[in-house]
Amino acid sequence: MPKALLLENIHPLAGEALRRAGFDVEQLSGALSEAELIEALQGVSILGIRSKTSVTPAVIDACPDLLAVGCFCIGTNQVDLAYAAQRGVAVFNAPYSNTRSVVELVIGNIISLMRRLPAHTLRMRAGIWDKSASGSHEVRGKTLGIIGYGNIGSQLSVLAEALGMRVVFYDLEEKLALGNAIRCNSLNELLEQSDAVTIHVDGRAENTGFFGEEQFAHMKQDAIFLNLSRGFVVDLQALRRHLDAKHLAGAAVDVFPVEPKKSGDPFTTPLAEEPNIILTPHIGGSTLEAQKNIALFVSQRLEDYMWRASTMLSVNVPQITLGSCSAPARIAHLHSNLPGVLASLNHVLGERNINIAAQSLATEGEIGYVVTDVSEIPDEETIAALGAIDGTIQLRVM
């Protein structure tokens, strides 16, 4: 039985699904350091992680049995995707499964901050009864500025508009505006008119420090700020200065530059003493519904790759969608995208009178992937010849 290792409290449904699919599954509650991960992955074919475990080139090099990584979350920046592809490790994620959960938390945070619920709660806990409408507002009629109009940003746009908010957005890529949302031509254009600004950018390295002093300075007086995207995107010290200066009326932060590896570990933030603030421990997508959906979605991708060679929705290797194999054998060949690889593969099979029942090829950038269903199970000599084709990264026979 191939081994699967699931970390970071991935929902038990994932383990159950992989066991039914024929895997020997081990599940651990926390994240692992690089050295711990290398030790734990010896003999393991499938790794499941969330956002705290990093799969580095050193990990990939030290774990030759690793075939695939399942990121049971939206982001994949914790994995070196290009290096993984070059070493034959396919990576899968769940780009849509927790979108609704994040959006609902954003909406709840906006309403809470506009009504100053955190500040009121703080004073009530201190024994102060302060029944006042000062600084409290309805969200209806306010302008929401969405930075990043992908899966989360666009769905947030629809729900915010249903609440009566005016929606503007900014994205580097051309995106279709939903409903009455208005695209801004620059980030500053969005900041200067938004009563609430929320960030939903991806984890690419270029977004490090994306939002800092200059961007906060362009925001409206008494606006609120939310970050439920990536912790390294925002300068928290700059945010604190603008909150202390009463320039901003409140903030909600769910992600942080440095986060503990597991629940219960100590945590500090410069925002802890701010009155009208919502601090949450990276739970934007952490609802039971979302975690169940993610568990089933990603485990299915891993099962399909392991037993059917299907790379549907992989984020780092060419995508081929395949069902069960009705031929005696299926050959999966991941290779550098060089001229003549397909011809060489077919030549090897032809020389041995092995008939091709079906064949699919896809290329993306520097990587190519061809899956061939054949009329007989290839012998060791044939497998060796296929593996010796120039540019071969990985060869699997099912």
Q: Are 361 and 369 in contact (CB under 8 A)?
A: yes
Burial class (CB in 10 A: 0-12, 13-18, 19+), 173: exposed
Distance CA 305, CA 289 (A): 25
CA angle (250, 256, 262) in 5-degree steps: 130
Burial class (CB in 10 A: 0-12, 13-18, 19+), 208: exposed
Which residue in the list 11, 50, 200, 282 is annotated as catalytic? 282
Q: Are 290 and 59 in contact (CB under 8 A)?
A: no
Q: In the chain, where does DSSP find H-type helix?
A: 12-20, 34-40, 57-62, 81-86, 99-114, 117-125, 151-162, 187-191, 213-217, 236-244, 288-308, 341-351, 380-387
Q: Which residue matches tokens 């060419």? A: 318
Distance CA 98, CA 293 (A): 8
At residue 105, φ and ψ (nearest 5 deg) are: -65, -40
| Residue 24 backbone class (left: φ over 0; alpha: ψ -120 to 50; beta: rest) | beta
259 carries an active-site annotation: yes
Distance CA 347, CA 329 (A): 17
Q: Which residue matches tokens 């969330």? A: 50
380 carries an active-site annotation: no
Which residue in the list 16, 189, 259, 364 is annotated as catalytic? 259
189 carries an active-site annotation: no
Which residue in the list 120, 166, 230, 301 is annotated as catalytic? 230
> Given strand 182-183, what is the order of strands in its sheet?
182-183, 166-170, 143-147, 196-199, 223-227, 248-253, 277-279
Burial class (CB in 10 A: 0-12, 13-18, 19+), 88: buried
For the chain, the straight-line distance linking the first and the last C-alpha, in angstroms and rounded, comes to 14
| Residue 349 backbone class (left: φ over 0; alpha: ψ -120 to 50; beta: rest) | alpha
Q: Are 389 and 345 in contact (CB under 8 A)?
A: yes
Q: Which residue matches tokens 């030290």? A: 62
Residues catalogued as catalytic: 230, 259, 282
